[in-house]
Amino acid sequence: MPEEESTRDRVRALVREVLNNALPEEESEGASQIASPSTSNAPPAKATNAPPPPSPPRPVAKATAASAADEQPIARDESAKTVITEADVRGLERGARLRVAEGARLTPLAADIVREQGIELVRRAPRRGSRESKSIGVGSDHGGYPLKEELKTYLAELGHRVRDFGTNSTDAVDYPDFAHAVARAVADGECDLGIVIDGAGVGSAMTANKVPGVRAAACYSVKVAVNSREHNDANVLTLGSGTITSAEMREIVSAWLSTEITEERHRKRVAKIGAVERQYLA
C-alpha cells in the first residue's frame, strides 16, 4: 500500500503545480488554499498600500429638468394667432403647455388665467420670411369694404406696406374689377402678395386666377390658409366678409403671411400648375 500512497501524493503535487502555473497569482493562492485544508485557518494576507480599484462610474441622468419639461406634450397650439385671448387659454389644466407665436400678445384676462393656472407658454419662432416687410396689394367690393379697412390697419401693425386698389366706400361696385387690379399688380411684380375681400371670397378668387402667374386661394380657416401657402404657394388670398369675423380675418391673414412653401415636392406640383396654365396662353 505504500506505493499507492506515494502515487497519490505525486498526483496531488502535480495537480497543485498545474493550477499554480495556469491561474493568475491571486487566483492560484485561493486555489491552493482550497486544495490544502491545512491552510484554511491561516491568517488573512496583510493589506498592502496599493489603492483600491476605481469604482464603476455612476450613471448620469440623460434628461435635465429643462429637457424633461420639453418632452411634455403641448396641450394646445395657438401659434397661428398674434393675440391670445381668454378663450384661447380657458379650459386648460393647471400647468399645461400652450404653444404661441414668438411675438404673440396676451389680453389682460388671458394673462391673468395663465398666471393663476401656471400655464407654460412655449413660443414658436416664426417661419422663414414671416418677419420680412412685404408690399401687399389689397382690394374689395362694397360688401368687403369695412373689413378691408380693418385689414389695412392690421397689415400696417405687422410692418407691411399696403397698396389699396379700392373700393373706397360701401357704394355698390363689381368685385371682378378690384380682384383683377390686385391680381395684375402681383403678376407684374408691383406687389409681393395680394388680399381681396368680397362677400364669400369665391368670385374674387375666380377672377384673380384668370391672370397668368396668379395662384389665388379662397381661405375660410387658418388651416386652409397655411395649406394654400405651404403646398400651393398661393400669392393672392381672398376672403369672404360674410363668412368670417374680424378676429378670424386677423388669424387667417397672420397664418397666411407667416407661412412659405419650403419642400421640393410641393414646388414640383406648383410648377405643374404653371405648365397647365401655359398650355392655354395664346
User: Comparing C-alpha atoms, which of 175, 185, 233 is closest to residue 206?
Assistant: 175
Residue 142 catalytic? no
Terminal Cα-to-Cα distance of the chain (whole angstroms): 124
Residue tagged active-site, from 142, 180, 231, 266: 231
Question: Which three cell numbers mark 39?
Answer: 491552510
Decide: residue 235, CB within 10 A, 0-12 exposed, 13-18 middle, 19+ buried.
Answer: buried
Decide if 244 contacts 256 (C-beta within 8 A): no
Which amino acid does the sequence have at 168? N
Query: On the CB side of 220, how many CA atoms lie within 13 Å of its CA?
Result: 11
SS3 content of the chain, % helix, strand, coil (to 5): 45, 15, 40
Q: Give one DSSP letter per residue of 102-144, joined into a string.
A: TT-EE-HHHHHHHHHHTPEEEEEPPPTTTTS--EEEEEE-TTT
Residues with a known catalytic role: 231
